[in-house]
Amino acid sequence: MHLEKGGTRRGSTRESSVYSAMLAVVEARYPNFADAWHSARAQFGHDWEAEFSEEMTRMFGPEENVWDEAIDGYAEFCTDALKEQIYFERHRRYRARSYREVSQACYQNADFMQRRYLPGMYLSHFVWPHHQRMLRYFRRVAMMLRERPHTFYEVGTGCGIYSKETLRLLPESRGVGFDISEYALAFTDRVVKAFGLASRYSVRRQDVLTDPPTELADLVINQEVLEHLEDPQTFLGGLAAMIRPGGYAYIAAAVNAGHVDHIYLYRSPEEIAEQIRSVGLTILEQRSEYAYDSKPIDIRPCQAGFLCRKEE
């Protein structure tokens, strides 16, 4: 499968070998992390494998040494997540307490962001089955809104994959990505350019709470940012203020999921839902995806996503 400029797909067999080649590297270097790759392939099939291969070719190029760098970053990203999940399960809280400390150690750290965090996050959206299921849910949400949003903001772009998917699935839309990390914005810009979508998108290094955009958006996307904050409630209020009356929001957050930059602990999806409702947004539907089926639900990592509307 190949993504043409503008985001349409056509069949291809050449790229489908990229998955197998990258998996061989993972099995040789990081065999403990290979199970997720096999599980994703088993769950999502040949089309997923072809899509994965095309994504990796566009993002990391056809050269194997570049794949190796992405895989090394992914392995470090996974190692960080495992260590912090063990800490969470032992202490029932996240290790990080201060946003300022996390920002300096992570988001403003070029080596951390460019070498491990952003490539690792990008790969996790395909390789971690619960992340892939959530991405597929977002694609369905975007298709439901296909005739409606014309302008969208993604606040906290991360690795940029949700902005890219919005541009691809809503071909009449124009978007702006906001983040406080220059490295996240550069990676996001690279993603949208790799898929031929940059003409409808721009990035801004901007704190939307202290310096909100003047134009209201038809759709605001906030993908796994809330758990990175000390006060997500106030942040949600800022997001709601950025949406035009009658507009939409897609908000997702992590539950019981340890990572080096997670601060605010949500213990259930309903805790997120309560905060969303408290800022005046109506939840139209929601979805939760869990990892590690063998673990008790109160310590099992979860992604919870919410399609919301701001009443007119």
Question: N- to C-terminal Cα distance for the chain?
Answer: 41
Residue 230 pLDDT > 50 = yes
Do 110 and 142 lie in one domain? The reply is no
Do 146 and 106 lie in one domain? The reply is no
Give the separation between CA 44 and CA 46, rounded to whole angstroms: 7
Do 182 and 306 lie in one domain? The reply is yes
Give the tokens for residue 82.
């495992």
Instruction: State which of 74, 103, 127 marks the end of a domain.
Output: 127
Residue 6 pLDDT > 60 = no
Considering the entire predicted model, what is its pTM? 0.92
Residue 72, Cβ neighbours under 10 Å: how many?
17
Instruction: State which of 127, 156, 182 marks the end of a domain.
Output: 127
Minimum mean pLDDT range among 19-23, 64-68, 85-89, 275-279: 64-68
Instruction: Give the domain CATH number at 177.
Output: 3.40.50.150
Do 148 and 291 lie in one domain? The reply is yes
Cα 290 to chain centroid, rounded: 15
Residue with tokens 């975007």: 142
Do 46 and 145 lie in one domain? The reply is no
Give residue 219's domain range.
129-310
Give the separation between CA 74 and CA 80, rounded to whole angstroms: 10
Do 158 and 287 lie in one domain? The reply is yes
Do 256 and 136 lie in one domain? The reply is yes
Residue 7 pLDDT > 90 = no
Residue 2 pLDDT > 90 = no
The domain total for the chain is 2
Helical axes 161-169 vs 182-194, angle rounded to 10°: 30
Measuring CA to CA, which residue among 200, 195, 106 is closest to residue 156? Answer: 106
Do 71 and 9 lie in one domain? The reply is yes
Do 243 and 147 lie in one domain? The reply is yes
Do 74 and 159 lie in one domain? The reply is no
Average pLDDT over residues 196-221: 97
Q: Which residues fall within 8 angstroms of residue 306, CB to CB, at 6 or more apart?
A: 249, 250, 251, 252, 272, 273, 276, 283, 285, 286
Average pLDDT over residues 232-256: 98
Give per-residue pLDDT as tens, 130-161.
Answer: 999 999 999 999 999 987 778 999 999 999 99
Average pLDDT over residues 207-220: 96
Give the separation between CA 177 and CA 155, rounded to whole angstroms: 6
Instruction: State which of 127, 156, 179 marks the end of a domain.
Output: 127
Q: What is the CA radius of gyration of the chain?
A: 18
Rounded mean pLDDT of the chain?
93
Estimate the share of the chain in helix, then strand, then coil, as percent rounded to the nearest 5.
Answer: 55, 20, 30
Give the separation between CA 307 and CA 250, rounded to whole angstroms: 5
Pairing of strands 9-10, 151-155: unpaired
Do 152 and 71 lie in one domain? The reply is no
Give per-residue pLDDT as tens, 159-193.
Answer: 999 999 999 999 999 999 999 999 999 999 999 99
Do 139 and 184 lie in one domain? The reply is yes
